[in-house]
Structure 1
Amino acid sequence: MKNIVTLMIAVALPVLMAAQPQSSFKLEWASTGSHCVIGGGPSLEFQKKAFNHVAWRGEKVFAQAVVSSEEELKDVRLSVSDLRNGKSLIGAENIRLQFVSYVVSDLLDTTKYGQCGSREDKSKWGEVLVADVLDINDSMTVPAGRKQPVWMTVSVPSDARPGKYSGKLTVTSSNAKARSLNVELTVAGHVLPPARDWAFHLDLWQNPYSVARYENVPLWSDAHFEAMRPVMKMLAEAGQKSVTATIMNRPWNGQTEDAFGSMVTKIRRIDGTWLYDYTIFDRWVEFMFSLGIDKQINCYSMIPWALEFDYYDQATSSNTTIQATPGSQEYNEYWGSFIADFARHLKSKGWFEKTMIAMDERPMESMQEVLSLIRNIEPGFKISLAGNYHEPINHEIADFSEGFAPKKEFPESAKARRKELGLTTTIYTCCAEAHPNMFVISDPDEAAWLGWFAQAENYDGYLRWAYNSWTLDPLTDTRFRTWPAGDCFVVYPGGRGSVRFSKLTEGIQDFEKVRILRAQWQKEGNEAKLAQLTEVLKPFTSDKILEEGPAKALAAAKSFLDKQ
């Protein structure tokens, strides 16, 4: 009897399991220019038509789909087929699918343009969940009622055959029937060069100290460098040009969660002479160079926010700090010896021509004192500045980044003159601008808009003061004690990108496309195309983005590019 019952159960079980109702879910394409927000803020825009992009060979193309269900979905997984064009294909290995994870963000102050200032009392700034993290997990559970974004990155091979490719994006769940979306990609004949060859001057300041703290590894250990590799590799793939190096302790007075230390040890011997140890500086620069970030080394700073300067004093066997103002005898003695030795070291490494003494938002009088000191010791040293325009020293600044503002103080004639002299001129945003920006809550299209604005206003690129100065727990809560959430980082630990960083890359690629097409049309004498391009770029102004946002101008500009 027992065997008969067992047999009956064994036969009936598959029937019972098959009869169990399965959950269902929606799978829809959505705009990459908006994001999922829970608790308020901007809403996600769904696409009314199937995914159908035009891409250049060598380009990264981004798309967003959204999974949603009234019931919990378990063990949700993503897959994509090869994209085929007859006998040609873009293999699935060139396509990356990632779940977009939610993080806590605050909101902007809509009563004013500038967003700087204390946010210690988080209750004053709202609290929402924003889907921003491009995560690295293979599967996840999607809670009932939640919109779960999926981010797709197609890296079009540089040798792909032009034409129309098609394939499928598929989402599966252990308790729901799989669903798919069609993917169609038209590959144009144009070729986008590798990121390291882009002309766009991208300068996002790196914070190696933040990685060491978050990953709980000894600073400058092998484990530290390995933890930094996936983070900095993403930056290289976006076309980053500059290495952020610190030549003194706490150049920004510890404003971030992880203060920057000095990568150069300064030792004052008993006899009063100086010794400098460049071991950490060299290893950091060589590491970044190995990833392809090797155009420029920006060294901060001879004018820190707090005019305090550190060294190790052999006479007292202690770390010592002095206070000195630019132009004073103490200041010139401290820095004069270093400038001479630093130049010698850089020349021995073959790095002198790439190195900048970098400053940000400093008074002109202080900068003039520093410039005088540097020129008297090593006239060949180049200078970088992020801050306000100063006519008397404009020609002295090899790399100048101007703060974005609705009313510009930087004359077009001065910008043009810099271009003639081969000097680099970029734009930067920080907490001073509500729009455009790259806060977690910012419209993602604003990040792409920046590349087009740089083209329209004849800038060479874009600077942001913080690439990865993470909060205590950035994968959960992006809010900080000062500035809007996300102001101090645009990527996440462990090689996790973000929606906004992807959109910045998109805008940089568009900048490069325009540059290539303009050069081609100028060579051909195609005045009609050049005139059309001029019209396309006209809406990219600081006034227009405040009036109507970024989407309208971007849609028209991208439509123009797709037809070329």
Structure 2
Amino acid sequence: MIRHVCAALLLAALANAAHAQQANYKELPDPRPVDPVAWSTVKPGAHAFFGTADVRYDKIFAPDASTLRSTWKTRAWKGEKVHSQFVIYTTKALRNVSIEKSDMKDGNGNKIPAAAITPGFVRYVMTDELNSEGGGCGHRKPENFDSSLVADGIDIIPAIDVNANNVQPVWLSVTVPPQTPAGVYKGAVKVKTAAGYLPASLPFEITVVERTLPQPKDWAFHLDLWQSPYAVARVHNTPLWSKEHFDAMRPYMKMLANAGQKVITTSIIYDPWNSQTYDIYGDMIKWTKKKDGSWSFDYTVFDKWVSFMQETGINKQIACFSMIPWNLKFYYHDEASGKDEALVAKPGTPEYDQHWRPMLTDFARHLKSKGWFDITSIAMDERPLESMQKAIALIRSVDKDFKISLAGLYHKELVNDIYDYCVASGLDFTAEEKKERLGKGWPSTVYTCCSEGFPNTFTFSPPAESAWLGWHAAAKNYSGYLRWAYNCWVKDPLQDSRFKTWAAGDTYLVYPGPRSSIRFERMIEGVQAYEKIRILKEAGKGAELDKVLKKFEINALKQKKAEDMVNAASDVLNSL
């Protein structure tokens, strides 16, 4: 009987996981009614034209026909992923809409295979807006913010229905195989419905140049998007750290690796961020205080998670959070009482040192035994200078070679102590500090969070801002970019990106499925631009690029649109 119950539970979990991955889902209704006037000038029937990757097309308002075009043309390096967007809009209901693709060909018999072409229906999610101060931080209630549906997620379903007087964007990506001969490649996609094909196909053209972009694993850009295995377990309804859980996580983490991710996010204590996420981060290392007062540490989950992530291709760094949690609370199991206990202690106090010294000593031993010590950093985020200094002193007293990372404010006093130092946008190291850090191979990056109204990656942010971040990193000579949440999903992430704290979309960049997003794809575009700039500078093209890059200052976005800046800079980049 027990076996039958367990089998039934396992089948249910797998069914739920499959549903989260593949099934179609219903978007929330748009809070605004369809305005017939908005469709009065549209010719009756269904239409499809290319638009731009810079626009989140409205679902219930017909697009401005003057901004649409019948073709798409672009340039690409070998190995580069390029994208555009086309829109289907219709005055009549369309059923079972699908996209047909075929090989792209040049005039010499060469081709980009259809498998390299990926169309995806853009889905709509509920979003909100910035707060009255122009930022995205702070507790919020939906009724206090203007909420609306916005185009963001990119679906993996093969077909979709489109209602009358509705718009259905389609994201079109092409990944040029590295071995593709240079040339002009032409192809087209067709829109098929239950009633047949739309009259016109959508032709497009990619000029592949004689330059090659390295594979993502070889990109120099230090991308650090924090992962949440706990959110995946909830959404896919799998037991934590079970085979089903790892199977569910694998496609998400491979997608992240293919974006050039370098860092594995680990939580070495329970709840390092004081429950700020919908799914609390658990302790990947189990702390046990034994009856004789000594400590034991179980690294089983930590080892499984790190090994799994390395198998997906993310293997440059392991970030261990955190010796300075936001509530300064440290959980452990006490053998004497048989209960889970918690210690509250500040860095620099005897209680703090007595708690952490045995762990750091044993952790260093374990990491060295696994061959991971040199790629591991004890990680903190947005912690005060004094707390950081006291924690660093303790770490160094245990093992002077421990690496330390921090995402937070710039402190001159910490520049030579922090291996991976990520400063908030608008801050920077001095030119001398940055030169010295980069010379040592120390990641020196920049991050955005809820504080910035722009540039940002909220679900309502202009899409080009995600790409702009890569250009900004290149302009300021950062080694990369950090964002605190790759997949810290809210309750219903496919339908509603709003959260009790922070602007909508702040907590995640991709959707269950895994489904990518306009924001994530544009971020990859920015990372690729960074790599192309690096390669071209090494080839002696720095003077031409510096003229463009000097414009990518944070304050520039007060007067200019990110899309205008990125498009103009891309034209220069792709002409070199």
Fold shared, TM-score > 0.5 on shorter chain = yes
- 5 Å matches for 1:327-366? 327-366=348-387
1:513 equivalent to 2:532? Answer yes
Note if 1:467 corresponds to 2:486: yes
Deviations 1:203-244 (A, max 9, x none): 000011011111111111111111111111110000000000
Q: Does 1:282 align with 2:294?
A: no
3-state DSSP of counterpart to 1:186: strand
1:547 aligns with 2:559: yes
**Unpaired segments ≥5 residues, structure 2:** 1-43
Partner residue of 1:169 out of 173, 189, 201: 189
Mapped partners of 2:451, 2:279: distance in 1: 22
| Aligned-partner SS, 1:258 | coil
Contact 2:102 2:189 in 1 (8 A): yes
Q: Deviation of residue 44 (structure 1)?
A: 10
Residue type at the aligned position of 1:449 = W
The answer for the alignment partner of 2:172 in structure 1 is: 152
Deviation at 1:108, TM superposition (A): 2.1
Q: Which residue of 222, 225, 229 maps to 1:201?
A: 222
| SS in structure 2 of the partner of residue 234 of structure 1 | helix
In 2, distance between residues paired with 1:43 and 1:233? 37
Secondary structure of 2:235's aligned partner = helix
For the residue of structure 1 that corresponds to 2:214, the secondary structure is coil
Superposed CA RMSD in Å reads 1.7
TM alignment of 1:397-546, pairs within 5 A: 397-405=418-426, 408=427, 410-521=429-540, 529-546=541-558
2:284 is equivalent to residue 268 of structure 1: no
Largest Rg, 1 or 2: 1
- 8 Å CA contact retained: 1:24, 1:177: no
Q: Distance in 2 between matches of 1:37 and 1:321?
A: 50
Q: In structure 1, give the amino acid aligned to 2:127.
A: S
Q: Percent identity?
A: 45
Superposition deviation, residue 39 in structure 1: 7.6
Q: Check if 1:308 corresponds to 2:320.
A: no
Secondary structure, aligned partner of 2:470: helix
Q: Match of 2:546, SS?
A: helix
Separation in structure 2 between the aligned mates of residue 382 and residue 335 of structure 1, nearest angstrom: 16
Q: CA deviation at 1:176?
A: 5.1
CA shift, 1:291, in A, is 0.5
- Assess if the C-alpha contact under 8 Å between 1:243 and 1:285 holds in 2: yes
- Name the amino acid aligned to 2:163: P
TM-score (norm. length: structure 2): 0.90
Do structure 1's residue 106 and structure 2's residue 128 form an aligned pair? yes
Aligned counterparts of 1:220 and 1:445: Cα–Cα separation in 2: 37
Matched, 1:123 2:143: yes
CA contact (8 A) 1:438 1:500 kept: yes
Matched, 1:294 2:315: yes
Q: Is the 8 A contact 1:313 1:320 kept in 2?
A: yes
Aligned amino acid, residue 98 of structure 1: G
Cα distance in 2, alignment partners of residues 52 and 203 from structure 1: 32
Counterpart among 155, 170, 181 of residue 135 in structure 1: 155
Query: 2:100 touches 2:190 (CA, 8 Å); kept in 1?
Result: yes
Q: Is the 8 A contact 1:249 1:309 kept in 2?
A: yes
One-letter amino acid matched to 1:183: F
Among 107, 117, 122, the residue aligned to 1:95: 117
Match of 1:68 among 78, 89, 94: 89
Deviation at 1:74?
A: 0.6
Aligned length: 531
Structure 1 gap segments, 5+ residues each: 1-22, 522-528
- Cα contact 2:49–2:69 (8 A) shared by 1: no
What SS does structure 2 have at the residue aligned with 1:482? Answer: coil
Q: In the TM superposition, what is the alpha-carbon distance from 1:423 to its structure 2 partner?
A: 1.5
Select the residue among 238, 252, 256 that pairs with 1:235: 256
TM-score (norm 1): 0.92
Any idea what the Cα deviations from partners look like across 1:232-259, whole Å, max 9, x if unmatched?
1110000000000000010000001001
Q: Distance in 1 between matches of 2:93 and 2:59?
A: 17
Report how far residue 46 of structure 1 moved: 3.6
Partner in structure 1 of residue 47 of structure 2: 26
CA distance in 2, matches of 1:135, 1:48: 23
Letter in 1 for 2:174: V
Partner of 2:394: 373
CA deviation string 1:133-181 (max 9, x = no partner): 1111111100111110111111110000100000111111113542311
**Aligned-pair CA distance for 1:561:** 1.7
Checking the alignment, whether the CA contact within 8 Å between 2:50 and 2:87 is kept in structure 1 is yes
- 2:513 alignment partner, SS class: helix
